[in-house]
Structure 1
Amino acid sequence: MLARKWRPRDFESLVGQEHVVRALSHALETGRLHHAYLFTGTRGVGKTTIARILAKSLNCEAGQGAHPCGRCRACTEIDEGRFPDYLELDAASNRGVEEMVQLLENAVYSPVSGRYKVYVIDEVHMLSTHAFNAMLKTLEEPPPHVVFILATTDPQKVPVTVLSRCLQFNLKNMPPAAIAGHLVRVLQAEGIPAEPPALALIGRAAAGSMRDALSLLDQAIAFSAGNVDEAAVREMLGVVDRRHLEQLLEALVAGDGPGLVAVADSMLAGNAPFGRTLADLAALLQRIALAQVGVLGDEDDPDALQRRAREIPAEDLQVWYQIAIHGARDLPLAPDEHTGFTMTLLRLLAFRPGETPPSARQAALRPPAGRVSQPGVAQQAAPQQAAAPQQPAAPQQPAAPQRASQSTEQAPRAAARAFDGDWPALAAALQVGGFTQQFMQQSELIEADGLSFRVRVPIRPLAEPGTVARVRDALAAHFGAPVRLSAEVGTVAGQTAAAVASQQRSERLQQAQEAMESDPFVQTLITDFGGRIVPGSVRPNEG
């Protein structure tokens, strides 16, 4: 298998982990060795591989250093796992105190054929508490010919007393581009043709693990009969066809609802993975958002990403990303995956942020005399503001610059009289939609000072800067004056427009129920014919 065949034999052939290689190389060249090392990191990033290279560097017959020859008996036997002074112990299956005591008893004896005895304990966090206690004294004062190398994927479970006795190195996950580049070199050496997009897919699917990437590459070679092409790798990994993502994005940008549904139906016919599609759509939106700030990935088409970054507003991307990841999370709750996927697409379209139409904005800036929303208040504010500059100055009035400052300070106070403190009524009066409407309906007024408002909203998306800015613009257009608005996220306990509307519906329903029950004709039907009012059948007249 490729993962074993292409396992690095020296530091030069190791992919990534340059910070670990540099530190170990300097220690080997200068002879400043530590008696215990701890390598941490996720699976397949090179913990055991680096341990073997370090063991060869310590025991190479050509001399101790950072460049083992790889040909001597010590190097070849360590690679083959049969060197008498090199022991790999799997703590997952040898976690008891008896195994640890036996290992430590043998550690006191001198090496059989090498310079050092090297003990590698993999998944060391699986050791029992008694086993850890047994090795503490040896870790603190080991024999000079012993080097311990501990490896773990979960360093949080290693006792602090052990961590303090080790030199710790955290191995990083390898980026997809680095994995794909290494796969190119492997396939060139193997003489197997491959398409770069296919290797990029494997690099992302490996999630930072080179061993997983080589195992997936083995599977892809077998799956595609020796030619690693993108279509075969997509089918093997269950990755969504890129054309579907492009079609979904095109329909979203165009606001094409029927087009979105048509793509969902086409994917159903092709047995596409809907959950994976939403995850890939969220990942694509994230890469477009990065492109908007000038960050482009190596595996992406930069021209396509930059075009999308120009045509999609940043606030739309944020809302779509949230809806996509929540839709993927809630997909198991849907009647079926196709239904849940289609509703998520329609939600993406329904919650698309929108601006107040220019005509409505201009009308709001010049309100008619008979405005219904705030009777008597707005009509008084405008004449006072218009008449203010024409009033004669009082004898004790300060100089002209100070008069201008006073006029600027008085304008917000005069305009502020247009708000009577009824936030739910204000929400009902605004002609807005999308997230702006949801903000006004779900928010609770905490504090109002003139046209400066502080409100609380129940969910984070409503407090996004883009949403708050659109609400502020809508309020400014309504009042005809600048508005300050800040939003915080928390539990909404006071009166909101949605709560008022719900209460009003309940009251109308109660009145309709009482009117129905007291109606003489209904009473006759109940008394003479044994009739009854079906629960839930009464509806108030909304007209």
Structure 2
Amino acid sequence: MSDSSDLLGGPADDTPGFDLGEPPAPPKSEAYRVLARKYRPQTFAELIGQDAMVTTLGNAIRRGRLAHAFLLTGVRGVGKTSTARLLAKALNCIGPDGQGGPTIDPCGRCEPCVGIAEGRHIDVIEMDAASHTGVDDMRAVIDASRMTAFVARYKIYIIDEVHMLSKNAFNALLKTLEEPAEGVKFVLATTEVNKVPVTVLSRCQRFDLRRIPAEKLADHFARVLDAEGVSAEPEALGLIARAAEGSARDGLSILDQAIAHADMDGGAVSAAAVRDMLGLSDRGAIRDLMTLLLGGDGIGALAALRRQYDLGVDPLGVLRGLLETVHATTLVKLGAAVEPGQATEEREALQGWAASLSFAALHRLWQLLLKGHEEVGRAAMPIEACEMALLRLVHASTLPDPGELARMIQNGAPMAISAPVAPVAAPAGASAEAALPASISEIIDLLERTRNIGLSLRVRHHASLVSLSGTDLVLSSARPLPSDLIGELAGALKSATARNWKITTADTPGAATLRELDAAQYESFKAEIMASPMVRAALDVFPEAEIADSEIESLMKQRSKSV
């Protein structure tokens, strides 16, 4: 039997064989392009969130009023370099038929458009100032800019991160930037415009690219996922959009990671997976923690914090979530529009807190959390510092503010302000009518006895009495009243007296508010003290001396006690 070489032909004989040639090479798989590069805007219509700039450039192109130098500034990832390339395409586009002129809607099919999009056009020179910072690099640019464009309508220099140029490089560029050769344009881009010399700024037409709103980013990410054939929960896209902080590139990078994090068998990008990937605290856990804090449950709050910490959540992330919750509650109390895509549970929780917390309490919570965030950020032991911040919140959030506290001390009010208090009952044998307050002063006393300290202060400051008869109270609206004062006051008086109150306003001057009476009494007492012989003698010796307000208040308090 012949060997295989005989069958196929070869050195054993001269019989022609079958030359199979080299085995075919396996097809090369196309390299994956990250979403941030794959979905880079190719037209101005695809540039999201920069409508004002696009309108200005479009008008300038249509009217032929093109600047010789443009400066694009904004945070990372908002589209500065993409805008520079789009501007180069817009100025050099010749249309599919080769007869077109500058346009805000470049065709994307002509040779200049294709070459610029692929980064190979000879007349569009991109330069990274971070790696070409010296004056010699600028001299090379200046020398080359003296020559007109080779094939395009305009020769365009795109200098990215221009703030990285040295002082000498900026100085070398100034004259050319102000009076470039005919047909030469400069497009400068920077994230730190404050580092660009004023002499350069004055020679450029400046465009500030805005941060892209989270809603527009979420919509953009949804379109990208549709093109990629990937599904995602709306809440997940919202989390990614907020984490991007206005940067489309950052958001697409996070989205790329989230897609890789999802299940391989067609699993959707879930909000839980995004939170886990970003190390964000779960919003449900934040709501539970907020409920524990407002309920004064310190042990429960610390346990909830530790559960988040054990899951890998950064303490700063927990405090940031609480700050966002307080901010959202305040907006709900103001009547702001509901955030798109907000979960029903979160919306109900925010509405409940908005109804039960006053603006003063919300501002106090914000300040305490903000202070805690600052402390944890520079603490040697972050989780312990976070625990102390939450405990401070538990014990301090229900206390009155300093103004209320001073008023309580002055009036001798009891300090157990957090204990629940039953409505004030009428004395035994007295009629219900006799138990009703008969003046603004008595109304304030009733509010203070029922621990409505904040409301009593607002009544003291704003309520100008026109008339009071039983449960019919008329206040003056000659001066603006807080919008929620009447409703809160009616509810508090009903709770305290077990009677329905009718509170109305009249556009007529009323009696002086108790705050105005207190101020008048204070000024009168101060004038009396200043007129006393002993004080006049002391001021003659020490003419620059002054009597502290706290001393005057102390003397007033002593007199009232003696009376």
Bin the TM-score by the shorter chain.
0.5 to 0.7
Supply the AA of the counterpart residue of 1:94.
Answer: H
Q: Which moves more between the two structures, 129-138 or 118-127? A: 129-138
CA distance in 1, matches of 2:315, 2:298: 18
CA distance in 2, matches of 1:135, 1:242: 52
Aligned to 1:281: 322
Distance 1:409 1:99, change over 3 A: closer
Supply the AA of the counterpart residue of 1:310.
Answer: A
CA contact (8 A) 2:361 2:397 kept: yes
The correspondence of residues 134-533 of structure 1 with structure 2, limited to 5 A, is 134-225=172-263, 227-296=268-337, 297-301=339-343, 302-331=347-376, 336-354=381-399, 413=521, 446-447=548-549
The alignment partner of 1:172 has SS state of coil
CA RMSD of aligned residues (A): 3.4
Aligned to 1:54: 87
The alignment partner of 1:95 has SS state of coil
CA contact (8 A) 2:78 2:209 kept: yes
CA distance in 2, matches of 1:151, 1:335: 39
The alignment partner of 2:394 has SS state of helix
* Pairwise CA distance, 1:449: 9.2
CA distance in 1, matches of 2:560, 2:80: 65
Distance 1:479 1:92, change over 3 A: farther
CA distance in 1, matches of 2:443, 2:64: 81
CA distance in 1, matches of 2:382, 2:198: 47
Deviation readout 1:332-371 (Å, 9 max, x if unpaired): 66674433222211110111234665799989969xxxxx
The alignment partner of 1:12 has SS state of helix
* Pairwise CA distance, 1:47: 0.7
Distance 1:97 1:251, change over 3 A: same
CA distance in 2, matches of 1:206, 1:52: 23
Distance 1:286 1:332, change over 3 A: closer
* Pairwise CA distance, 1:163: 0.9
CA distance in 2, matches of 1:138, 1:18: 30
CA contact (8 A) 1:412 1:451 kept: no
* Pairwise CA distance, 1:410: 11
In structure 1, the gaps of 5 or more residues are 367-403, 422-444, 454-474, 481-543
The correspondence of residues 112-131 of structure 1 with structure 2, limited to 5 A, is 112-131=150-169
CA distance in 2, matches of 1:274, 1:214: 26
Supply the AA of the counterpart residue of 2:356.
Answer: E
CA contact (8 A) 2:316 2:377 kept: no
In structure 2, the gaps of 5 or more residues are 1-33, 401-412, 425-440, 447-510, 530-546
Distance 1:362 1:283, change over 3 A: same
* Pairwise CA distance, 1:131: 1.2
* Pairwise CA distance, 1:187: 0.6
CA distance in 2, matches of 1:233, 1:310: 32
CA distance in 2, matches of 1:321, 1:257: 18
CA contact (8 A) 1:364 1:479 kept: no
Deviation readout 1:246-289 (Å, 9 max, x if unpaired): 11111122222332133124334434322210112112211222
CA distance in 2, matches of 1:122, 1:333: 34
CA contact (8 A) 1:40 1:151 kept: yes
Q: Tell me which of 48, 70, 88 is aligned to 1:37.
A: 70
Q: Percent sequence identity over matched residues?
A: 42
CA distance in 2, matches of 1:27, 1:363: 67
CA distance in 1, matches of 2:519, 2:243: 60
CA distance in 2, matches of 1:325, 1:211: 29
* Pairwise CA distance, 1:292: 2.0
CA distance in 1, matches of 2:517, 2:224: 72
Supply the AA of the counterpart residue of 2:81.
Answer: T
* Pairwise CA distance, 1:416: 8.2
CA distance in 1, matches of 2:554, 2:228: 69
* Pairwise CA distance, 1:417: 7.2
Runs (4 or more) in structure 1 with deviation over 4 Å come to 332-335, 355-366, 408-418, 448-453
CA distance in 1, matches of 2:272, 2:221: 17
Distance 1:30 1:327, change over 3 A: same
CA distance in 2, matches of 1:448, 1:330: 33
Distance 1:225 1:412, change over 3 A: same
Distance 1:410 1:335, change over 3 A: closer
CA contact (8 A) 1:413 1:450 kept: no
CA distance in 2, matches of 1:108, 1:446: 74
CA distance in 2, matches of 1:276, 1:449: 46
Supply the AA of the counterpart residue of 2:244.
Answer: A
Aligned to 2:51: 18
CA distance in 1, matches of 2:158, 2:292: 56
> Could you tell me the TM-score, scaled by structure 2's length?
0.64
* Pairwise CA distance, 1:177: 1.4
Distance 1:76 1:452, change over 3 A: farther
Supply the AA of the counterpart residue of 1:350.
Answer: H
Distance 1:270 1:165, change over 3 A: closer
* Pairwise CA distance, 1:39: 0.5
Deviation readout 1:346-398 (Å, 9 max, x if unpaired): 110111234665799989969xxxxxxxxxxxxxxxxxxxxxxxxxxxxxxxx
Q: Tell me which of 100, 117, 121 is aligned to 1:83.
A: 121
Distance 1:30 1:268, change over 3 A: closer
CA contact (8 A) 2:148 2:182 kept: no
> Could you tell me the TM-score, scaled by structure 1's length?
0.67
CA contact (8 A) 1:415 1:479 kept: no
CA distance in 2, matches of 1:411, 1:22: 57
Supply the AA of the counterpart residue of 1:33.
Answer: L
Aligned to 1:392: none
Distance 1:363 1:170, change over 3 A: closer
